[in-house]
Structure 1
Amino acid sequence: MSDQAAHPVKLGGVHHVAYRCKDAAETVEWYGRVLGMDYTTAFAEDHVPSTGAYDPYMHVFLDAGGGNVLAFFELPNQQDMGRDENTPAWVQHLAFKVADEEALRAAKAHVEAQGIEVLGPTHHGIFKSIYFFDPNGHRVELAADIGTDAQYAELKRVAPLMLEEWSATKKAPRHADWLHELARKEHGNA
């Protein structure tokens, strides 16, 4: 693994993450109403600054908290939005952190009150999550960390071992089976 201290590129975090949307106004309204995100900035151009191509767009930015920004592009001259049909719908998603399990339960109740179907909470050993879809078909996850410092340290320790085994076998390594055991114990399935 790389030594970040010696690496010539010094990242300061994620500036923004951008996805496509069907309707910029609907998307801004939904993320404000459902997740409390503040709409902060918009750019609209007829020509793409990086390529010069004619492709009118509206680019909207939402404050996701903690200095994180979620952005969307509405592209009216492009074909209708689709999704990668070769990738399951559960794989590509936007995951946002909430303070704790109580905040996760409150968020679930709020999202369901908006008439949105919610899956979970799902126990992942060191965090719990709920899942639902935005009006563009993007899967959204809200996650509450519940792990201990020792658990996070152990996961970091075994990460290279797991990746090495996965690369060789393409089967789930068993180095972190204790995560599943935590979930089973909580649900009384031990």
Structure 2
Amino acid sequence: MIPQIKRIHHVAYRCRDAKETVDWYERVMGMRYTTAFAEDKVPSTGEDDPYMHVFLDCGGGNVLAFFELPNQPEMGKDPNTPAWVQHIAFEVEDEAALQAAKAHLEAEGVDVLGPTYHGIFRSIYFFDPNGHRLELACNIGTAEQYAELADLAPVMLEEWSQTKRAPRHAEWLHKDPATA
């Protein structure tokens, strides 16, 4: 039977320092620290590998978690994947909330890129203290635009699969009305 997914239970990433990470996400992102597990042995594998696993409430039933692994080599990144690819995106209410978040982040000393126009949403991008790229996005699309993109998704995927070039079936996605 195909699993009936209700939601993402949590997404877990590695961190350099669990306390620093929790403090940053509470202060800078407004998330609430809810739970921690600390073990000397990994429950799923039985390996002797002490860890701290912390959980933060992102709102809407979403949970972001981190592992601190003091006995493992220092965190690294995939050298073959650009820094802009792997990221966590969080939704904010609207463009005013996006601008307010940008001002808050910059006041906290965080370098922020954007807002960037994506046709149906605008985003800002920045990094957490562990080097994970984060995105805050607000939806700006219309019901008609979302419906058009849903209809075009299979066509675009098929074209991409064959050509490995960006299909331009929804050209309006690439024209920011704010700069027109």
Please give the TM-score of this superposition, normalised by the length of structure 2.
0.98
Partner of 1:86: 80
Query: Which residue type is aligned with residue 187 of structure 1?
Result: T
Query: CA offsets per residue over residues 45-82 of structure 1, 9 Å max, x none?
Result: 11111111111000000000100000000000000001
* Residue of structure 2 in register with 1:111 after alignment: 105
Instruction: Name the amino acid aligned to 1:177.
Output: E
Q: Distance between the aligned counterparts of 1:66 and 1:57, measured in 2?
A: 27
28, 43, 46: which one pairs with 1:49?
A: 43
Measure, in 2, the Cα distance between the counterparts of 1:174 and 1:118: 29
- The one-letter amino acid of 1:163's match is L
* C-alpha displacement of 1:9: 1.3
* Residue of structure 2 in register with 1:3 after alignment: none
Match of 2:141 in 1: 147
CA drift at 1:8: 2.7
Structure 1 residue 187 corresponds to structure 2 residue 179: yes
| Corresponding pairs, count | 180
Q: Within 2, Cα distance between the matches of 1:33 and 1:84?
A: 28
Give CA deviations for 1:98-140 in whole Å, capped at 9, x if unaligned: 0000000000000000011100000101000000000000001
- Structure 1 runs of 4+ aligned residues shifted over 3 Å read none
Measure, in 2, the Cα distance between the counterparts of 1:187 and 1:144.
18
Query: Where does 1:102-141 land on structure 2 (aligned, <5 Å)?
Result: 102-141=96-135
Q: Secondary structure at the match of 2:20?
A: helix
Paired with 2:178 and 2:100, the residues of 1 have a C-alpha distance of: 20
User: What is the CA–CA distance in structure 1 between the aligned matches of 2:131 and 2:2, rounded to whole Å?
Assistant: 38
Which position in structure 2 is the counterpart of 1:159? 153
1:163 positional shift: 0.5
- 1:74 equivalent to 2:72? Answer no
- Give the aligned CA root-mean-square deviation in angstroms: 0.8
> What are the Cα deviations for residues 142-173 of structure 1, in whole angstroms up to 9, with x where unaligned?
00000011100111100000110001111111
Which letter maps to 1:14?
Answer: I
What residue is the counterpart of 1:4 in the other structure? none
Equivalent-residue separation in structure 2 for 1:173 and 1:83 (angstroms): 30
Match of 2:3 among 9, 15, 21: 9
User: Structure 1 length as normaliser, TM-score?
Assistant: 0.93
Counterpart amino acid of 1:62? L
Which of 21, 34, 38 aligns to 1:27? It is: 21
1:171 equivalenced with 2:152 (yes/no): no
